[in-house]
Amino acid sequence: MAEPLLQLTELTKHFPLKRRRVVVHAVDGISLSIGEHESLGLVGESGCGKSTAGRLVARLQEPTSGTVSYRGQDISHWSRRRMRPIRSEIQMIFQDPYASLNPRHTVGTIIGGPMEVNGLRPTERGIKELLEIVGLNPEHYNRFPHEFSGGQRQRIGVARALALKPRLIVADEPVSALDVSIQAQVVNLLQRLRREMGIAFLFIAHDLAVVRHFSQRVAVMYLGKIVEIGDRDSLYERPRHPYTHALLSAVPDPDPDTPRRERIRLAGDVPSPVNPPSGCRFRTRCWKARDRCALEEPPLVRLGGNAEGHLTACHFPEAPTTHGSDVVLDPALS
Amino acid sequence: MIPDPSFLTVRDLYVQFKTEDGVVKAVDGLSFGLDRGRTLGIVGESGSGKSVTSMAVMGLHDPRYSEVSGEVWLDGENLLTATPRRMEALRGRKVAMIFQDSLSSLSPFHTVGSQIGEVLTKHTGASRREARERAIEMLARVGIPQPKLRVDAYPHEFSGGMRQRAMIAMALVCDPELVIADEPTTALDVTVQAQILDLLKALQEETGSAIIMITHDLGVIADVADEVMVMYAGRAIERGTRREVLKAPGHPYTWGLLASMPHLATDPDSPLRPVRGTPPSLLTLPSGCPFHPRCDYADRVPVDLCSTERPDLHPRTGHSSACYLSQTVKDQIRG
């Protein structure tokens, strides 16, 4: 297999809370890789560490331990100066199209600024071409962010990332702040860019239905750990981890005929990452948890019946059948 | 059904805001109704007027900046002509609201218990002790563990899902007959969303209250609504029962919303089908049908009707969409 574009190995990020002398285990030893031109979806609920993972990949933060390798080089602790040549190759698209654009800069400056910093000479023509690629009117070159709608602003953010000809884009919830009808526009735009320009993506989102439309492989995170990872079809059609089952069953479905009883209602909330549960971190909300789950952390391994590359971290995985058919209701609520 | 309900009737509601740039027509002639024990889902995107409508029903628009006209009849009383004092007596007691953002809707300086209890002391003259007892009872009812301890906690000590439960407890403490839930699950994680929707449904079965569920999420609608109203640019463009609107939608905008929403049954390798363009500015609404600039089928309607004359919902039938396309053409398009 060719060398992956990006390789994370046992990547960990802990945030110390000074006042209380405790540590937030944001990301706790995750390993994954992204190949050239590949799109990997990273899903999970708030606080699971998916955004921190994205920021570690973009080297906006330095890992506590573990490594981030980009094209075979360990960049985990590179200085700003050393990072400079590859900064342009790893770009980010942010969730909030309102907070991530400078309100005092014109669109031209917003897109041209990073080019200048990276030693590319921005030309009006080049920027207008970028605007056209992302579906904005090139004549709006001199306008300010407030003159655009949320979806249009997100397109500006995409154009800014594209300006540096990146090989990898970390997109952190790029459509979750947008209206439904606009979300689809932006997902289609990113999809087109990935296909036409061969850019690899780390696509971070909480919405499994959106991720399914964008990713070739998908990783599911819970409380700082990857609990399941695999090819899209394998993961969506034969999920093995109870948490993946629960997430899939909670995906909104506009068809009133879908039997609602099949939905898994998880009890309680996600535990605090300051003091994660022992053993399997999902056990406190899992309907299959037994003593072993508290004692032993399940390794992320390929289970019998799973496709290659489909790894699951669970002692008592679900049977490898199509999801929905063997869904167990949360006993606490039934 | 919708046109002639006994409990809540909203007729020709207009809400306008005066701004430096001109008059914003946030709600532009809206009529709907709701019976006790039923849930009306109002769907729409940002700026469609769904939240402004609920604020109008609650009497929360500041008359200095807004102009509200029309009629809002609740149980035989027109709320738009009620005095501020009367509205204050009704809010929390007869009509209550659950907001999206529980962190900013709860006071950070007061305990959860005192905020729930305050509603009760204000409306029923209950003593502080009674209020506290009832707050504990309510916390237990909305499924907060250890309610006797939690009653003295501050909102920041609660998780997002628990805060939302606390807010529901606060809204329901006086057993209101109408509950308006404005995107009550949008800020929550998917696995917690389902819990909250279940809770609202269970409480409704207990109390028989009417619920207006405001959401942008058709999945939530499919889950809880009996009737559905789809809003666009301050107007209702479709209404009907949940099944009618979701299974046999009649308005191209509703088609667009349903088609652009990815779910697990769609083909992941085909592109999504978004609604093209962006929602109109409420300062300068398009002439005719407000959706016509984004509509793919305006040319299927004879003589520029779509761009010149505004279509309305049928005032009497249950399922209706504000669209000039004939049923035959719609059937053709939808295949």
Average pLDDT value for residue range B262-284: 86
Per the prediction, chain A carries an average pLDDT of 89
The DSSP symbol for A134 reads: T
* Reported confidence tier of residue A262, pLDDT bands at 50, 70, 90: low
What is the model's pLDDT at position B160? 81
* Reported confidence tier of residue B41, pLDDT bands at 50, 70, 90: very high
What is the model's pLDDT at position A149? 84
The DSSP symbol for B29 reads: E
Q: Which residues contact A322 (CB under 8 A, 6 or more apart)?
A: A237, A238
The answer to whether the Cβ–Cβ distance between A209 and B161 falls below 8 Å is no
On the CB side of A43, how many CA atoms lie within 13 Å of its CA? 33
Give me the residues paired with residue A37 across strands. none
Q: Are A262 and A246 in contact (CB under 8 A)?
A: no
What is the model's pLDDT at position B78? 94
What is the model's pLDDT at position A27? 96
Whether the pLDDT of residue A125 is over 80: the answer is: yes
What would the two tokens of residue B149 be?
């301890």
Q: Which of B46, B219, B274 sits opposite A254 (nearest CB)?
A: B219
* Reported confidence tier of residue A267, pLDDT bands at 50, 70, 90: confident
Tell me, yes or no, if the pTM score tops 0.95: no
Query: Residue A137 burial by CB count (10 A; 0-12/13-18/19+): exposed, middle or buried?
Result: exposed
Q: Are B41 and B182 in contact (CB under 8 A)?
A: no
The answer to whether the Cβ–Cβ distance between A254 and B218 falls below 8 Å is yes
- This complex has an ipTM of 0.80
Interface test with A, best of B213, B231, B263, B281 (most A CBs within 10 A): B263
pLDDT tens readout for residues B223-249: 899 999 999 999 999 999 999 999 999
Distance (Å) of CA A226 to CA A26, A59, A137, A260: 12, 20, 41, 28
Q: Which of B223, B243, B264 sits opposite A260 (nearest CB)?
A: B223
Long-range CB contacts (within 8 A, 24+) of A330-334: A330/A264, A330/A265, A330/A266, A330/A267, A330/A287, A331/A287, A332/A267, A332/A287, A333/A265, A333/A267, A333/B195, A333/B198
What is the model's pLDDT at position A253? 84
What is the model's pLDDT at position A260? 59
Q: How many CB atoms lie within 10 A of CB A66?
A: 18
pLDDT tens readout for residues B120-176: 999 988 999 999 999 999 998 888 888 999 999 999 888 888 888 899 999 999 999
Residue type at A205 in one-letter notation:
A
CATH number of A1-79+210-290+298-306: 3.40.50.300
Phi-psi region of B244 (alpha: psi -120 to 50; beta: other; left: phi over 0): alpha
Give me the torsion for CA of A211, A213, A219, A222, rounded to 10°. Answer: 30
Q: How many CB atoms lie within 10 A of CB B316?
A: 10
Angle at A311 between CA A309 and CA A314, to 5 degrees: 170
* Reported confidence tier of residue B189, pLDDT bands at 50, 70, 90: confident
Average pLDDT value for residue range A251-275: 78
Any idea which of A64-78, A305-319, B157-171, B187-201 has the lowest mean pLDDT? Answer: B187-201
Whether the pLDDT of residue A229 is over 90: the answer is: yes
What is the model's pLDDT at position B32? 94
DSSP run (H or E) holding A85: helix A80-87
Q: Are A111 and A122 in contact (CB under 8 A)?
A: yes
Average pLDDT value for residue range A257-274: 76
Beta strand ranges found along chain A (DSSP E): 6-17, 22-34, 39-43, 65-70, 73-74, 90-93, 168-172, 200-205, 217-222, 225-231, 301-302, 311-312
pLDDT tens readout for residues A61-105: 999 999 999 999 999 999 999 998 899 999 999 988 888 999 999
Measured in whole angstroms, the distance separating CA B5 from the mean position of its chain's CA atoms is 18
Chain B residues touching A213 at Cβ < 8 A: 262, 266, 268, 272
Chain B residues touching A333 at Cβ < 8 A: 195, 198
State the first-to-last Cα distance of chain A, in angstroms, to the nearest integer: 48
The answer to whether the Cβ–Cβ distance between A210 and B262 falls below 8 Å is yes
| CA–CA dist B296, B305 (Å, integer) | 14
pLDDT tens readout for residues B54-64: 999 999 999 99
Whether the pLDDT of residue A168 is over 50: the answer is: yes
Helix (H, G, I), strand (E, B) or coil at B183: coil
* Closest alpha carbon within chain A to B45: A179
What is the model's pLDDT at position A96? 85
Whether the pLDDT of residue B99 is over 90: the answer is: no
Per the prediction, chain B carries an average pLDDT of 90
The answer to whether the Cβ–Cβ distance between B217 and A252 falls below 8 Å is yes
pLDDT tens readout for residues B292-303: 999 999 999 988
Name the residue ranges covered by the structural domains of chain A.
Answer: 1-79+210-290+298-306
Would an 8 Å CB–CB cutoff place B216 in contact with chain A?
yes
Please state the length of chain A. 334
Q: Which residues contact B141 (CB under 8 A, 6 or more apart)?
A: B169, B172, B203
Name the residue ranges covered by the structural domains of chain B.
Answer: 104-175, 251-334
Average pLDDT value for residue range A115-136: 90
Q: Are A112 and A158 in contact (CB under 8 A)?
A: no
The answer to whether the Cβ–Cβ distance between B264 and A212 falls below 8 Å is yes
How do strand B227-232 and strand B235-241 relate by DSSP bridges?
Answer: antiparallel
Q: Which of B220, B268, B273 sits opposite A232 (nearest CB)?
A: B268
Max distance between CA atoms of chain B, in angstroms, equals: 69
Residue type at A307 in one-letter notation:
A
What is the model's pLDDT at position A1? 55
Whether the pLDDT of residue B1 is over 50: the answer is: no
Phi-psi region of A291 (alpha: psi -120 to 50; beta: other; left: phi over 0): alpha
Would an 8 Å CB–CB cutoff place B107 in contact with chain A?
no
| CA–CA dist B17, B315 (Å, integer) | 27
Average pLDDT value for residue range A275-300: 94
* Reported confidence tier of residue A18, pLDDT bands at 50, 70, 90: confident
How do strand A73-74 and strand A90-93 relate by DSSP bridges?
Answer: unpaired
Q: Which of A180, A256, A266 sits opposite B191 (nearest CB)?
A: A266
Share of chain B above pLDDT 90, in %: 65
Angle at A56 between CA A54 and CA A58, to 5 degrees: 70
| CA–CA dist B321, B239 (Å, integer) | 6
B225 compared with B314, residue with greater pLDDT: B225
How do strand B66-74 and strand B39-43 relate by DSSP bridges?
Answer: unpaired
Helix (H, G, I), strand (E, B) or coil at B95: strand
Q: Which residues contact A250 (CB under 8 A, 6 or more apart)?
A: A263, A264, B190, B191, B193, B194
Q: Which of A151, A188, A260 sits opposite B272 (nearest CB)?
A: A188
The answer to whether the Cβ–Cβ distance between A252 and B219 falls below 8 Å is yes
Interface test with B, best of A149, A179, A236 (most B CBs within 10 A): A179
Average pLDDT value for residue range B17-42: 93
The DSSP symbol for B267 reads: -
